[in-house]
Amino acid sequence: MCGIVGYIGTKKACPILINGLLKLEYRGYDSSGISTMENGYISNMKDKGRVKNLYALDGINDLIGTSGIAHTRWATHGKPSKENSHPHMDNSNTFSVVHNGIIENYQELRNVLEEKGYTFKSSTDTETIPNLIHMYYSKDKNYDEKRFLRAVASTCKDLKGSYAIEVLCKEYPDVVIVARKDSPLVIGTGDNENYIASDIPAILEYTKDFYLLNDGEVVEVYKDKINFYNCNLEKIEKDVKKIEWDATSSEKDGYPDYMLKEIYEQPRSVRETIGARLKNNEVVDFEDIHLTKEYLESVNKIYLVACGTAMHAGLAIKPMFERLCKIPVTVDIASEFRYREPLIDNKTLCIYISQSGETADTIAALKLSKMQGAKTIAISNVIGSSISREADYTIYTHAGPEIAVASTKAYTSQVTLLALLALHFAEILECSDKALIEAIKNELLLLPEKLQQVLENVTEIEEFAKKVYTEHDIFFLGRGNDYAVALEASLKLKEISYIHSDAYAAGELKHGPIALIENGITVVGIITDPVLSPKTVSNIQEVITRGAKTLIVTDQALENGNYDKVIKIPKTHPMISEILTVVPLQLFAYYITKEKGLDVDKPRNLAKSVTVE
Ligand code: AGP
């Protein structure tokens, strides 16, 4: 939920840290702060609000230290304020700490520390960490070069919950110590300098060589060497990974907002998700998943588990999985799944969908299903994310960095990858009509071109958005896959425009929701299902007769139905229509939000990655 960044090298740390924070603001922007190792002391500057408030502070440009840590916050414990912002120092100002995560036993630790005479300035869970480090450090009378390391490692053993921390010690000015559990942390290594961050895009412009930390690891980061240890301080070796993203791909490429850039990247991201996995009429290639026909024939249930948009991707692909693989599929919300004691055994295949790979509820649900004997597959967009280290198998969407909080290209890549996975299973199981499989494959290969066509005809969407941006309620209707898209379109609209919105299975209108329809209200109808469309058309007519304004997204030639606006999209196979249908509605939400003058990339109250429950 927060973003942390660190640097140690030969350059001034402050500009590098500030630049990293600006790239991490999507993870939270209630407050921010920076500590650098100055001559014989640790500076600590922080303020409420966005990073721009931090680098406006008096004296920030006087920081000359060549190592430091920094933090941008999404408040979990303690309201957004200067005293609650990170970094936090111990009472003696010997240590400075930035932290991403939640320390669940912080109150207990705080009580122990207060009994020992420590005092606290903030109401955060994090402030216990520097004081705990100081307590262990003071007790350790072995004044060797590892005293700082031991104090941090002992502290980590006391922490329950999740943490990614960076620690400075004024008595060890040549090293930054970092550690993680259940919160992401990466180290980028350069020439006589090293970088630390919550995620890769924050420091990608400086290096392509990364170390991905695992839970429980503690690391000494010097400018010219990095020492990795496990939680018992046994040295471990780690391979460096070269990240192929280029730095600019994390920038806006000339678009006004990350969200618009990412919407327009979808022809490419879908093409790259398909990538080498699908060639004309050849078997879908998932070399990274080794599931046999015997195992798949033993599977009697598939769960698709996720949150938010990722869960909507599961809803959209469920019919295809069931139709092709002949296996019952249940789509579940991770925060519900993990607490309702789901029936899971070794005949259950659980597929977890997570763009960030860091969503706490999704990871917790995955751990639960593993404990109960299920095989687990993670679908993530972030290489080396936490979820990839928990799942039996991980397949990546290769959509490239998704920076906007509102997920767009990740959704279409997730649905594309899930469709390929369903085809892969169906080919192994040999349980589906080959002509159907070939038809879907051919249409998947045509998707990038068809997505481009949709993106070249956006004027009418923008015009209609400008007519309705002042509305207080907008409803979305659909049946089958169109209903799954209605749910996603409604989430997009509400999370960035703050307009109240709901999505209904069109057949449900008469069971209550139609009472909401009154003169002038806006209703969006999604009509692509070849079988169910006539019924949806009837439902739309019911709202029109009650005075609704209507926007229709369809791949069909509808008779004149008194619609206010009809957006025509190319046809594709009905089982993957959601990949095209969703795009005009992503733009609909985007244009409305821009018309309202809101920040489309960083909506209020939200963060890109929900790494806490
Ligand atoms: C999507 O627009 C939202 N930002 C949110 O619902 C998101 O999809 C959800 O938090 C899941 O995130 P994940 O895919 O990274 O797990």
2 is catalytic: yes
**How far is the centre of ligand 1, averaged over its atoms, from the C-alpha of 410 (Å)?**
9
CB burial readout 322-341, b (16+ within 10 A) else e: ebbbebebbbbbbbebbeee
**DSSP letter (8 states) at residue 37:** B
pLDDT at 429 over 90: yes
Average pLDDT of the chain? Answer: 93
Q: What is the pLDDT of residue 400?
A: 77
pLDDT at 283: 66
What is the distance in A from the centroid of ligand 1 to the CA of 8? 33
Task: Name, in order, each residue with C-beta under 8 angstroms of 562's C-beta and a sequence gap of 6 or more.
Answer: 544, 550
SS3 label, residue 302: strand
Identify the H or E element spanning 541.
helix 533-544
Q: Which of 2, 156, 325, 350 is catalytic?
A: 2
Q: How far apart are CA 268 and CA 368, in angstroms?
A: 35
On the question of pLDDT at 230 being above 70, the answer is yes
pLDDT tens per residue across span 496-539: 999 999 999 999 999 999 999 999 899 999 999 999 999 999 99
CA 534 from centroid of its chain's CA atoms: 37
- 431 flagged as catalytic: no
Q: Indicate if the pLDDT at residue 299 is higher than 90.
A: yes
- pTM score: 0.73
pLDDT of residue 50: 84
Q: Which atom of ligand 1 is nearest to 380's Cα?
A: 14
Residue 307 CA: nearest ligand 1 atom is 11
Radius of gyration for the alpha carbons in the chain, expressed in angstroms and rounded: 26
**Model confidence at 542: pLDDT above 60:** yes
> How many other CB atoms are there within 10 angstroms of residue 437's CB atom?
17
State the Cα–Cα distance between residues 458 and 448, nearest whole angstrom.
Answer: 16
Q: Which residues contact 170 (CB under 8 A, 6 or more apart)?
A: 37, 40, 41, 42, 93, 94, 95
Please give the structure tokens belonging to residue 168. Answer: 């400075």
Report the DSSP pairing between strands 473-478 and 500-505: parallel
Share of the chain above pLDDT 90, in %: 80
Confidence check: pLDDT of 351 > 90: yes
Question: Which pLDDT score is estimated for 612?
Answer: 78
pLDDT band at 569 (very low <50, low <70, confident <90, very high): very high
Mean pLDDT across 433-443: 94
* pLDDT > 90? residue 21: yes
The pLDDT confidence band at residue 607, using thresholds 50, 70 and 90, is: confident
CA of 307 to the centre of ligand 1 (A): 6
Cα 331 from Cα 350, distance rounded (Å): 10
Distance CA 40, CA 397 (A): 47
Q: Rounded distance, CA 510 to CA 521, Å?
A: 17
Atom number in ligand 1 closest to CA 491: 2
> What is the torsion angle, in degrees rounded to the nearest 10, for the CA atoms of residue 132, residue 133, residue 137 and residue 143?
170
pLDDT for res 279:
64
Residue nearest to atom 6 of ligand 1 (CA): 308
Check residue 76 and give its pLDDT: 64
CA distance 289 to 393: 6
User: For the residues 411-431, what does the mean pLDDT come to?
Assistant: 96
pLDDT tens digits, 77-102 = 777 788 889 999 999 999 999 999 88
- The region of weakest confidence among 53-62, 244-253, 289-298, 472-481 is 244-253
pLDDT given at position 46: 94
- Kindly report the CA angle at 405 between 335 and 24, in degrees rounded to 5? 105
Parallel, antiparallel, or unpaired for β 329-333 and 301-306?
parallel
Distance, C-alpha 377 to centroid of its chain: 17
Kindly state the average pLDDT of the residues 287-312. 94
Q: Are 4 and 98 in contact (CB under 8 A)?
A: yes
Ligand 1 binding site (Cβ under 6 Å of any ligand atom): 307-310, 354-356, 359, 362, 405-407, 495, 609-610
User: Strands 522-527, 473-478: parallel, antiparallel or unpaired by DSSP?
Assistant: parallel
